[in-house]
Amino acid sequence: MHIIQELLFVIAFGLAVYLFSRKAGQIRRNILLGRDVQLNDEPALRWKNVLLLAFGQKKMFRKPLVAVLHFFVYAGFIIINLEILEIILDGILGKHRLFAPILGGLYPVLIGCFEILAVLVILGCAVFLIRRNIIKVKRLNQHELDGWPRSDANYILITEIVLMLLFLTMNTADQAHSPFWISGQFTGILSGLSDTTLIAIERSCWWLHILGILAFLNYLPYSKHLHIILAFPNAYYSDLLPKGKMENMPAVQKEVQLMLQPELAGSEPASDVMPKFGAKDVNDLTWKNLLDAYSCTECGRCTAACPANITGKKLSPRKIMMDTRDRAEELGLLANKEDGKSLLRDYISEEELRACTSCNACVQECPVSINPLHIILQLRRHLVMEESSAPQEWNMMFSNIENNMAPWKFSPDDRDKWAIEMNS
Amino acid sequence: MAEYAAGGESPEILFWVGCAGSFDQRAQKITKAFVTILDKVGVRFAILGKEESCTGDPARRAGNEFIFQMMAQNNIMVLNNYNVKKIVTACPHCFNTLRNEYPELGGNYEVIHHATYLQQLIDAGKIKMKEEGSFKGKKITYHDSCYLGRANNIYEAPRKVLEALDAELVEMKRCKSNGLCCGAGGAQMFKEEEKGSTRINFERGREAVETGASVIASNCPFCMTMLTDGVKEQGKEDSVKVLDIAELIAQQIE
């Protein structure tokens, strides 16, 4: 009997790990559709960002109440992994509470702590469900979440509550071990049941708990919840430069240099490949932009802070990230074939891009170091440089700068007129 | 600048006036106020005059990298020719571009926004304020420009400058890194807003007026335009003034 259970467990576990790694590989491939950028400088600073932003959740604490609840769920997730390790080892080796004899008196304390965390996780998830579905917090109910994204969020919260309840019920039924801090309070509920029934309850909960976790693992790559993994690399690769700095375009720099100061431009022959300007589709974006898209948990702090969105414009930085991920998934499945579609227009409209004030509020707000602005500005570059598509007023501004060295139609000779006025 | 160069001298700072500060009538007043301060303090400064061009910021943010590169490389040639070391500007867009985007094109200077520069002058005791300040006890609110604030993490310097006025600084709900944009950045200054329920500067104007402050202090010529319109939309243009921090200091300097 034992050997069959062990075998079943090993098969379930192996299958879950296999399926997850296969999907993880696909996501990695999709992210690498993006163009290359070097983001390995200053490792010390980057590790500091991982510690502060990912482990420490520094930016979450811009909203303290939600941050505390989220921290419960996060800490629960991280720490209960120790319990899952025990469960997996038990499953493979056919043991029961393998760590109990090893840890001795410490074991019930440890499980007690896990139980407290489990209760806090349930509390956090319950409040989050209420915020989403009853209070209807605005940023959690905007129209880009209609359909799957909204269900996705609810499924995750409900699953987490169910998993924690299974864990607590399992401990309650396991009366052979000393009563644990939380589940020990509830043993009365199960009193009067035969040992066989108790064992059956304990075993069922054990199986449902671990199978639930393995299923959840495989749900992650299809869900916004993937941030629990990708927030960490995303913090490492986050921008270190001042947010106001825009990415340079060396190809254009070179071309202009050839025009203005040919003696400085170097003698290497111009490349035969016509460089692409800006981004039209996800493979024109950087791999960091795509990692951003997969790290997005659709919390909408970016959109809630976006001046364009606040004043009713179509732009929503969260939608930019969701669109980018959807398109990366789509393009990944095509395997180098063309489908005649692109991120620009089929997903993100010109109107959205035109509404951005480059104020960096979205970048500032994102708890997992996503930069929606970088994507917007690359798409704008494509519009202007590849398609000459700009509002009439912008074209006037361009020609004013080109001809009068100022964005308005003033004579360059009048640039110091104010000074002459002051001296007279 | 050409005069300094001809005399074989170099100024302490180059004052980068910017297009708004040079041509926009309202922003010219900021320019003049800042120059008044520099003169009173006795800073030896220069301007590029007709040799200054747009930094290229609006073109770059609209997506036109060619025009940006033309402006940037041309400006860098002029600045390097004069061997400029230190630049002060009253425009956070010029500041951001000169400070963050010119170095990789070969333009390396110490670039300071006038908020920081004024704070340095005050800290060094070089700016003396009048005893009976006309802003004493008055409510002033400060609007963080995106390109000084989030883009470059400068939040305290302009507030320290305002403290020197002995006024009561009241913050808007969305301030510092949470500050709401005025609506002009990213080349929006030069086009109509997209369709929406309201204008960004109306939203910000309302928020600023609601603080009950009689002065909205700004640090950017574009925010100045946007907020002035925002206050007008609230019908408060008589009781609430939008003034640049340089104008506030210039009014109170001894």
Of the candidates A9, A54, A186, A216, the residue with the CA atom closest to the CA atom of residue A115: A186
For residues B34-54, average pLDDT: 96
Per-residue confidence (pLDDT) for residue A79, from 0 to 100: 83
Q: Are A307 and B183 in contact (CB under 8 A)?
A: yes
Please check the confidence at residue B126 and state whether its pLDDT lies above 90: yes
So where are chain A's domains? 2-31+63-226, 250-263+274-412
Which helix (DSSP H) or strand (DSSP E) does residue B190 occupy?
none
User: What percent of chain B shows pLDDT beyond 90?
Assistant: 91
Instruction: For chain A, give the longest Cα–Cα distance.
Output: 104
Within a 13 Å sphere around the CA of B132, how many CA atoms are in the beta-carbon half? Answer: 0
**Which residue among A243, A311, A413 places its CB closest to the CB of B151?**
A243
For residues B167-175, average pLDDT: 96
Which helix (DSSP H) or strand (DSSP E) does residue B218 occupy?
strand B215-218
Please check the confidence at residue A51 and state whether its pLDDT lies above 70: yes
For residues A31-47, average pLDDT: 95
Any B CB within 8 A of A413 CB: yes
* Lowest mean pLDDT across A184-193, A304-313, A355-364: A184-193
Please check the confidence at residue A12 and state whether its pLDDT lies above 80: yes
Within a 13 Å sphere around the CA of A30, how many CA atoms are in the beta-carbon half? Answer: 23
Chain A residue with the nearest C-alpha to that of B48: A416
Contacts of B61 in chain A (CB under 8 A): 246, 358, 377, 380
Residue A268 pLDDT grade (very low, low, confident, very high; cuts 50, 70, 90): low
Which helix (DSSP H) or strand (DSSP E) does residue B241 occupy?
strand B241-244
Per-residue confidence (pLDDT) for residue A77, from 0 to 100: 82
User: What percent of chain A shows pLDDT beyond 70?
Assistant: 98
User: What percent of chain A shows pLDDT beyond 90?
Assistant: 82
Strand blocks (E) in A36-142? none
Calpha distance A257→A278 (Å, rounded)? 19
Any A CB within 8 A of B221 CB: no
For residues A230-243, average pLDDT: 96
**Which residue among B28, B53, B73 places its CB closest to the CB of A405?**
B53
CB-based contact B185 A358, cutoff 8 Å? yes
Any B CB within 8 A of A257 CB: yes
Per-residue confidence (pLDDT) for residue A83, from 0 to 100: 87
Any B CB within 8 A of A311 CB: yes
Task: Quote the minimal CA–CA distance from B1 to chain A in Å.
Answer: 12
Exposed, middle or buried, A371 (CB in 10 Å: 0-12/13-18/19+)? buried
Calpha distance B13→B17 (Å, rounded)? 12
Chain A residue with the nearest C-alpha to that of B154: A242
Per-residue confidence (pLDDT) for residue A269, from 0 to 100: 59
**Amino acid residing at B61:** R
Per-residue confidence (pLDDT) for residue A184, from 0 to 100: 86
Please check the confidence at residue A330 and state whether its pLDDT lies above 90: yes
Any A CB within 8 A of B146 CB: yes
Q: Are A191 and A259 in contact (CB under 8 A)?
A: no
Task: Quote the minimal CA–CA distance from B213 to chain A in Å.
Answer: 22
Contacts of A37 (CB under 8 A, 6+ apart): A286, A287, A288
For residues A112-140, average pLDDT: 95
SS in 3 state form for A346-385?
Answer: HCECHHHHHCCCCCCHHHHHCCCCCCHHHHHHHHHHHHHH
Per-residue confidence (pLDDT) for residue A60, from 0 to 100: 94
Residue B133 pLDDT grade (very low, low, confident, very high; cuts 50, 70, 90): confident
For residues A43-69, average pLDDT: 94
Calpha distance A239→A243 (Å, rounded)? 8
Calpha distance A274→A276 (Å, rounded)? 6
Q: What is the DSSP letter of B253?
A: B
**Which residue among A253, A259, A312 places its CB closest to the CB of B196?**
A312
When scoring B15, B19, B38 by the number of chain A Cβ atoms within 10 A, the one with the most, hence best to mutate, is: B19
Domain A2-31+63-226 listed as CATH 1.20.950 = yes
For residues B7-19, average pLDDT: 93
**Amino acid residing at A303:** T
Any B CB within 8 A of A302 CB: no
Please check the confidence at residue A28 and state whether its pLDDT lies above 90: yes
Contacts of A364 in chain B (CB under 8 A): 150, 177-178
What is the phi/psi pair of residue B170, to 5°?
-110, 130
What is the phi/psi pair of residue A405, to 5°?
60, 20
CB-based contact A310 B180, cutoff 8 Å? yes
Chain A residue with the nearest C-alpha to that of B184: A357
User: What percent of chain B shows pLDDT beyond 70?
Assistant: 100
Question: CB count, 10 Å around CB of A193?
Answer: 14
Q: Are B38 and B15 in contact (CB under 8 A)?
A: yes
Give, in degrees to the nearest 5, the angle at Cα A245 between B200 and A139. 40
**Which residue among A257, A314, A413 places its CB closest to the CB of B194?**
A314
Residue A323 pLDDT grade (very low, low, confident, very high; cuts 50, 70, 90): very high
For residues B63-83, average pLDDT: 97
For chain B, positions 67-126, list CB contacts with chain A under 8 A. Answer: 67, 69-71, 73-74, 77, 96, 99-101, 104-105
Decide: helix, strand or coil at residue B158. helix
Contacts of B73 in chain A (CB under 8 A): 253, 256-257, 260-261
H helices within A220-300, ranges in order?
Answer: 227-236, 250-260, 287-295
Q: Is the pTM of this model over 0.80?
A: yes
Per-residue confidence (pLDDT) for residue A178, from 0 to 100: 66
For chain B, positions 19-38, list CB contacts with chain A under 8 A. Answer: 19, 21-24, 28, 31-32, 35
Per-residue confidence (pLDDT) for residue A46, from 0 to 100: 97
Residue reference for tokens 């080349």: B187
Any B CB within 8 A of A422 CB: yes
Task: Quote the minimal CA–CA distance from B147 to chain A in Å.
Answer: 6
Residue reference for tokens 């959205």: A352
H helices within chain B, ranges in order?
Answer: 2-6, 18-23, 25-41, 57-62, 65-81, 92-96, 114-123, 156-163, 200-210, 221-233, 245-252
Give the strand order in the sheet containing B86-89. B45-46, B13-16, B86-89, B110-113
When scoring B53, B64, B74, B188 by the number of chain A Cβ atoms within 10 A, the one with the most, hence best to mutate, is: B64
For residues A403-419, average pLDDT: 95
**Which residue among A244, A260, A307 places its CB closest to the CB of B74?**
A260
For residues B45-64, average pLDDT: 97
Within a 13 Å sphere around the CA of B119, how many CA atoms are in the beta-carbon half? Answer: 16
Higher local confidence (pLDDT), B2 or A166: A166
- Give the class (CATH, top level) of A250-263+274-412: mainly alpha
* Lowest mean pLDDT across A145-154, A266-275, B112-121: A266-275
**Which residue among B35, B185, B203 places its CB closest to the CB of A357?**
B185
Residue A202 token pair = 């304990």
Residue B134 pLDDT grade (very low, low, confident, very high; cuts 50, 70, 90): confident
Report the mean per-residue pLDDT for chain A: 93
**Tens digits of per-residue pLDDT, B137-152?**
899 999 999 999 999 9
Please check the confidence at residue B130 and state whether its pLDDT lies above 90: no
